[in-house]
Amino acid sequence: MSILKDAISAQLGGEVQFIEGYQHPARTVYCSVPREKFVDAAKAMKKAYALLVAEWAADETPLGRGYAIFACYRWGHEYLIVKTEAPAGAPEFPSLAKQFLPAWRFERQIQSLMGVTPLDHPDTRPWIKFEDWPADAWPLRKSFDSSKPLPRVEGEYQWIKAEGEGVYEIPVGPVHAGIIEPGHFRFQAIGEDVLNLEERLGYVHKGIEKRFESLSWEEGARLAARVSGDTTVAHGLGYCMALESMAGCDVPERAHWLRALFLERERIANHLGDIGAICNDAAFAFMLYQMMRLKEMLLRTNHQLFGHRFIMDRVIPGGVAADIDPAGREAVLSELDMLSGDFERLVVIYDENPSLEDRVRNTGILTPEKAREICAVGIVARASGLNLDCRIFNPFPPYDQYDRLELGVPVMITGDVHARTWVRIQEVRESVRILRWILEHLPSGEIAAPCGTPAPDKAGFAAVEGWRGEIIYWLQSGPAGEVNRCMVRDPSSVNWIGLEQAIHGNIVPDFPLCNKSFNQSYSGHDL
Amino acid sequence: MNLYPFAMEILQVLILLVVGPVFVGWVRVLKCWAQGRSSAGLFQPYRDLRKLFSKDVVLAENASWIFRFTPYLVFGTAVLAGGIIPILSTDLPLGATADVIVLVALFAIARFFTALAGLDIGTAFGGMGSSREMTIASLAEPAMLMAIFTMSLASRSTSLSHMAQLVMSGQSVMRPSVLFALLAFILITLAETGRIPVDNPATHLELTMIHEAMILEYSGRHLALIEWASMMKLFLFTSLGIAVFAPWGIASSADLIAVGAAFFFMLLKLGVVGAGLVLIETGLAKMRLFRLTEFLGSAFLLATLGMLSYFILE
């Protein structure tokens, strides 16, 4: 029984083929449709109220096929992946940009990096790839030789223009005054009112997806942990879970629980930092220093117990590489007592300061309608009324014990800076509770199982709730069982569009506050 | 010829140059403590200035003479203002020739050239900062004149020395008009010296800046002079407030002991004002830009109320 499966069958009838051979976690449906029906499939999904999760292409020439284009949809707990093929001689596919807004950038990215053209796409400018690359350099294709330097060519990015009396442009970045990642924001403004904001990203493109293809499966886990440094646990976990689903690896119960422990510690640390940074952008520095103090406490405990401040490389294929002993358990529990005590006092200060409240309320509103339209995920989605959380909808142990764990997912509908901050505050509380619960009920046993390598021509898929939101990994093995393609979709890939929408109707000096409340990853987006 | 007033004049300027950065250091130290962290010490502003002075100046290619001239002008007006405001002594030769209107005009000249310099190099941030600064100026300057005029009504003079002497002689203490004017003056000082909740002197966020946005392109000794001048500006506004509203202790006779006592009282008052400033800055977030009009509007209203209450009640 699957809503999405029924919806696509009803629309396309016999033309959709369900594929069983690819191994996936339960509830992920996999099907292929003819190229000309790709848009019809999207329409059926739209009608069924599904959201687009990701769209990507894979070069399947080593497997004796052409290019494959995938679109992944989500409805509640169900994932449906629609595949269509384009022959190597005619690398084109019909664009979904008119059905699903995030396809806009996904498809520009496919065009830029894989050289497969979305037909009827309204925007043919490159994305992530820069103009000084030759137009026919498509790094994700198998024929691309990444060891050779590329010639530089001339070119200029065409920005969206706004004209009229009093309209002026403010280019910001890519290098910013603070210690943050590079990205370019271009504002068109009248006085202080923002007419339009256009983002341009890609400055930290490192060729990560291509790099996966030259690594072994085990090395891939280490690379995945470095996709976005602040989300190292969730990214490592996403990769490992996708790999385990392909290789048919059985992860021990205790390892699952420890993974959840790492994930929640990462969530708390990042949320603490974000709450402080949001207040600091409203010049309420007190909050920043207090929150950073709590975050630092957490990171030091991480280092002491697990050997790394951010718990990097502690999630490995088949399990985890760090365990917790009874003394460590006590250390975490007493740390949590101290943390939640201080945290609650700070929340009162945040909540009862009218000058701060005036800044964060009604600023940078992303309406629930727009959040749906851009298929937002994670904290951004939950602050705008979308009830999405992979820990509920796509759980691994211990999250699957709904009745015992009673995981609460905070959802706000106002979609402003305050909502995004408050969702974080609620999640910190919830994560502290989950951590205590995990430590209390942690099962004993092994912490890792041997993980084999996948069979040739298989695909693996995983969705993990990182602290920013849903992280998607899709892996495909080649003819010799090696990595043929690794697709990474950080929550930032969709949520960055939300920032462009949320700034409408705001004034220029409120942008940093809006931006900080989103706090999306540049690295995870640019790959 | 009596050399004492001139010696006082020189002494005041020296104190301005030396104590200005220390006062900013004091505010920062208190702020660090209020936020629960250790501070860099009272003398960090000196180290910052020394660092900037030892660096090269990087000039934009299209920078005109205005851009190069402005730092010296801003610094010069700040030093000159130190000769007008009775910091230690009311017996100032410059104080007799320049009254409070001249003082406001001096600050306005510095502001005018800073805004021009922000526009001069043609970056988006500079223009944005200049535009915001002039918005503030157009609201703050009338309010400031109003507040000071309320005080000068009692002394029937716009000379700061006269006003200070009158208050010290006890003829003009804690009247309703003074309280209104004082409140207005505090609000204006926050705006004029670019403190929270109006502007954030410590921010790195270009899009939110007001004063810092105009001087983003400055470097080396130019930046050092501007920074030094803005430290002096905080000191000057504080001294102005002290001279007008709480001048007790300022020397009115040519007496070395009185001058020493005046210096001691000055430090004491600065310490208290710094603590008050830190309380405001730690407890408040920065306002939305367009709330500024309400903020400065209420400053103007308070000053006007002060003036009205002088005529009605006194």
10 Å CB burial of residue A480 (0-12, 13-18, 19+) is exposed
Q: In percent, how much of chain B has pLDDT > 70?
A: 99
Q: How far B311 CA sits from the closest chain A CA (Å)? A: 35
Among chain B residues, CA nearest to A178: B204
- Decide if B124 and A356 are in contact by the 8 Å CB cutoff: no
Quick one: tokens of A143? 């024929």
- Decide if B124 and A171 are in contact by the 8 Å CB cutoff: yes
Q: Is the confidence at residue A301, as pLDDT, over 60? A: yes
- Decide if A355 and B285 are in contact by the 8 Å CB cutoff: yes
The predicted structure's pLDDT at residue A25:
55
Q: Is the confidence at residue B197, as pLDDT, over 80? A: yes
Amino acid letter, residue B186: I
Q: Is the confidence at residue B255, as pLDDT, over 90? A: no
Query: A with B: how many residue pairs have Cβ under 8 Å apart?
Result: 79
Is A361 at the interface with chain B, CB within 8 A? no
Q: In percent, how much of chain A has pLDDT > 90?
A: 60
- Decide if A170 and B202 are in contact by the 8 Å CB cutoff: no
Query: What total of structural domains would you count in chain B?
Result: 1
The predicted structure's pLDDT at residue B173:
64
Residues in a beta bridge with A71: A55, A82
- Decide if B287 and A355 are in contact by the 8 Å CB cutoff: yes
**CB-based contact A380:A498 (threshold 8 Å):** yes
The predicted structure's pLDDT at residue B156:
84
Is A282 at the interface with chain B, CB within 8 A? yes
Q: Is the confidence at residue B161, as pLDDT, over 90? A: no
Asked whether the whole model's pTM tops 0.90, one would answer: yes
Q: Which residues of B touch A282 (CB under 8 A)?
A: 285-286
- Decide if B197 and A169 are in contact by the 8 Å CB cutoff: no
Is A192 at the interface with chain B, CB within 8 A? yes
Residue bearing tokens 């936020």:
B35
Q: In percent, how much of chain A has pLDDT > 70?
A: 98
Which of A185, A286, A287 is best to mutate for the B interface (most B CBs within 10 A)? Answer: A286
Which of B38, B207, B295 is best to mutate for the A interface (most A CBs within 10 A)? Answer: B207
Which of B190, B288, B293 is best to mutate for the A interface (most A CBs within 10 A)? Answer: B288
The predicted structure's pLDDT at residue A452:
83
Interface confidence, given as ipTM, is 0.90
Residue bearing tokens 């501070």:
B39
Distance of CA A382 to the CA centre of its chain: 14
- Decide if A355 and B284 are in contact by the 8 Å CB cutoff: yes
The per-residue pLDDT for range A332-343, each reduced to its tens digit, is: 999 999 999 999
10 Å CB burial of residue B134 (0-12, 13-18, 19+) is middle
If residue A311 lies in a helix (H) or strand (E), which one and from where to where? Answer: none
Closest in A170, A283, A511 to B285, CB measured: A283
Q: Is the confidence at residue B301, as pLDDT, over 90? A: yes
Closest in A283, A289, A511 to B207, CB measured: A511
- Decide if A172 and B290 are in contact by the 8 Å CB cutoff: no
The predicted structure's pLDDT at residue B300:
95
* Positive or negative torsion for Cα A511, A515, A518, A524: positive
Q: Which residues of B touch A176 (CB under 8 A)?
A: 204, 206
Q: Which residues of A touch B285 (CB under 8 A)?
A: 279, 282-284, 353, 355-356, 358-359
- Decide if A177 and B204 are in contact by the 8 Å CB cutoff: yes
- Decide if A281 and B35 are in contact by the 8 Å CB cutoff: no
Q: In percent, how much of chain B has pLDDT > 90?
A: 59
Residue bearing tokens 């990462």:
A266
Distance between CA atoms of residues B292 and B17, nearest Å = 31
Is A190 at the interface with chain B, CB within 8 A? no
Amino acid letter, residue A275: I
Closest residue by Cα to residue A267 from A439, A398, A431: A431
Is A359 at the interface with chain B, CB within 8 A? yes
Whole-number average pLDDT of chain B = 90
Q: Which residue range is the domain that position B51 belongs to?
A: 4-313
The predicted structure's pLDDT at residue B158:
86
List chain A domain ranges. 3-119, 208-526
Whole-number average pLDDT of chain A = 90
Distance (Å) of CA A173 to CA A132, A200, A277, A459: 19, 10, 19, 39
- Decide if A290 and B35 are in contact by the 8 Å CB cutoff: yes
Amino acid letter, residue B97: T
The b-or-e profile of B243-263 (16+ CB within 10 A means b, else e) is bbbbbebbbbeeeeebbeebb
- Decide if B285 and A279 are in contact by the 8 Å CB cutoff: yes
Helices (H), ranges, A402-491: 402-405, 417-441
Q: Name the pLDDT band for A394 (thresholds 50, 70, 90).
A: confident
DSSP class per residue in A16-84: -EE--SS---TTEEEEE--GGGHHHHHHHHHHTT-EEEEEEEEE-GGGT--EEEEEEEEETTEEEEEEE
Q: CATH 3.40.640.10: does it fit domain A208-526?
A: no
Interface residues of B toward A, Cβ cutoff 8 Å, are 31, 34-37, 124-125, 127-128, 196-197, 200, 202-208, 282-291
Lowest mean pLDDT across A8-12, A320-324, B262-266: A8-12
The per-residue pLDDT for range A82-101, each reduced to its tens digit, is: 999 999 888 999 999 999 99
Is A168 at the interface with chain B, CB within 8 A? yes
The per-residue pLDDT for range B103-145, each reduced to its tens digit, is: 999 999 999 999 999 999 888 889 899 999 999 999 999 999 9
**CB-based contact A386:A434 (threshold 8 Å):** no
- Decide if A192 and B289 are in contact by the 8 Å CB cutoff: yes
Q: Is the confidence at residue A24, as pLDDT, over 60? A: no
Q: How far A256 CA sits from the closest chain B CA (Å)? A: 39
Q: Which residues of A touch B205 (CB under 8 A)?
A: 177-178, 281, 512
Distance between CA atoms of residues A139 and A233, nearest Å = 27
SS3 B24: helix
- Decide if A509 and B34 are in contact by the 8 Å CB cutoff: no
Strands A459-465 and A470-477: antiparallel
CATH class of the A3-119 domain in this structure: alpha beta
Q: Name the pLDDT band for B171 (thresholds 50, 70, 90).
A: low
The predicted structure's pLDDT at residue A21:
60
Closest residue by Cα to residue B103 from B183, B150, B160: B160
The predicted structure's pLDDT at residue A27:
64
Among chain B residues, CA nearest to A510: B208
Closest residue by Cα to residue A384 from A407, A416, A360: A416
Distance between CA atoms of residues A412 and A223, nearest Å = 35
Other Cβ atoms less than 10 A from the Cβ of A160: the count is 11
Q: How far B288 CA sits from the closest chain A CA (Å)? A: 6
SS3 A317: coil
- Residues 6 or more apart from A159 whose CB is under 8 A from it? A186, A198
**CB-based contact A9:A29 (threshold 8 Å):** no
